[in-house]
Amino acid sequence: KLASREFHPQNSVVDVAGIKIGDGTPVVMAGPCAVESKEQLFEAADIVKAAGAQFLRGGAYKPRTSPYSFQGLEEEGLKYLAEARERTGLRVVTEVTTVEAIESVVKYADMLQVGARNMQNFGLLKEVGKCGKPVLLKRGLAATIDEWLNAAEYIMNAGNPNVVLCERGIRTYETYTRNTLDLSAVAAVKHLSHLPIIVDPSHGTGKWRMVKPMAFAAIAAGADGLMMEVHPNPAKALSDGPQSLTPENYQEVMAGIYKLSQFM
């Protein structure tokens, strides 16, 4: 299999517009859950840039549990992301939820995110496999590691070798956390596959207080990077406020990651 370590013994390094993922230096993708307005996104981008991330994240197409929740700014949100990249030099990663939206996301973003809810949307996987840009593939809500690696296989088999995996927690019987962050998946994937893997402790826990310890643990476990939600004012966030870091919390997490990376 294309994603397997047997097929490709060395670690793959995925280059996203000049930023290398998987070369030993952890990368950080941070930003709001959703692009809510130009002002909110620019404020978040400035905070994220100042504390040292390489990527700005933010959803323009939001896969929400309820159809009555904020669904995202769609193409307008993509334009703000591209403007935020011009402003900060950060690379942009954003989710694509449908085949129809691939073309616009490719136009504005550096990396396409396939969300947990679409991990087994095989039609979407095949199309992002042909899109020409690197893909961040999140683990499905209830996907085994084998199913997840097979999802990567769909993208690679369609012609796109630039796949980065993202562990974001799986559904278990535990209800205290939003998901159960499976950090053992990092070690498993490193053994089974050559693909880079990052960890999202924001969706993985659902609680901003748990983001720092799980981010540190992810780096210690060998993750190639982190995805974290940061909002200028989490209390006012249109989605995922409870798991979003304030600017101050984010700076603290980044300072800790920098220290930790000195030991790795």
Would you tell me which residues interact with ligand PEP (CB under 6 A)?
A: 33, 59, 63, 95, 115-117, 138, 168, 203
* Residue placing its CB nearer to ligand PEP in the complex, 19 or 29: 29
CB hemisphere CA count around 13 (13 angstroms): 10
d(CA 114, CA 168): 12
Is 95 an interacting residue with respect to Mn ion (CB under 5 A)? no
Q: State phi, psi for 43 to the nearest 5 degrees.
A: -60, -45
Is 240 an interacting residue with respect to Mn ion (CB under 5 A)? yes
Comparing every residue's Cβ against ligand PEP, the nearest one is 115
d(CA 130, CA 59): 21
Of 14, 33, 198, 223, which lies in the binding site for Mn ion, with binding defined by CB under 5 A? 33
Distance in Å, CB of 117 to ligand PEP, minimum: 6
Distance in Å, CB of 38 to ligand PEP, minimum: 19
* Residue placing its CB nearer to Mn ion in the complex, 129 or 206: 206
Distance in Å, CB of 211 to ligand PEP, minimum: 13
Contact status, residue 121 vs residue 154, Cβ threshold 8 Å: no
| Stretch near Mn ion under the rule CB under 5 A, chosen from 16-24, 30-38, 46-54, 115-123 | 30-38
d(CA 90, CA 13): 19
Contact status, residue 16 vs residue 24, Cβ threshold 8 Å: no
Comparing every residue's Cβ against Mn ion, the nearest one is 33
Report the C-alpha dihedral over residues 180, 247, 14, 178, rounded to 10 degrees.
Answer: 10
Distance in Å, CB of 6 to Mn ion, minimum: 35
d(CA 61, CA 76): 10
Distance in Å, CB of 59 to ligand PEP, minimum: 5
Is 153 an interacting residue with respect to Mn ion (CB under 5 A)? no
- The tokens describing 72, both together, are 């995202």
Distance in Å, CB of 57 to ligand PEP, minimum: 7
Q: What Å distances lie between residue 125 and 115, 154, 185, CA to CA?
A: 11, 6, 21
| Stretch near Mn ion under the rule CB under 5 A, chosen from 96-104, 135-143, 182-190, 232-240 | 232-240
| Stretch near Mn ion under the rule CB under 5 A, chosen from 47-55, 99-107, 123-131, 235-243 | 235-243
* Residue placing its CB nearer to ligand PEP in the complex, 95 or 224: 95
Contact status, residue 43 vs residue 232, Cβ threshold 8 Å: yes
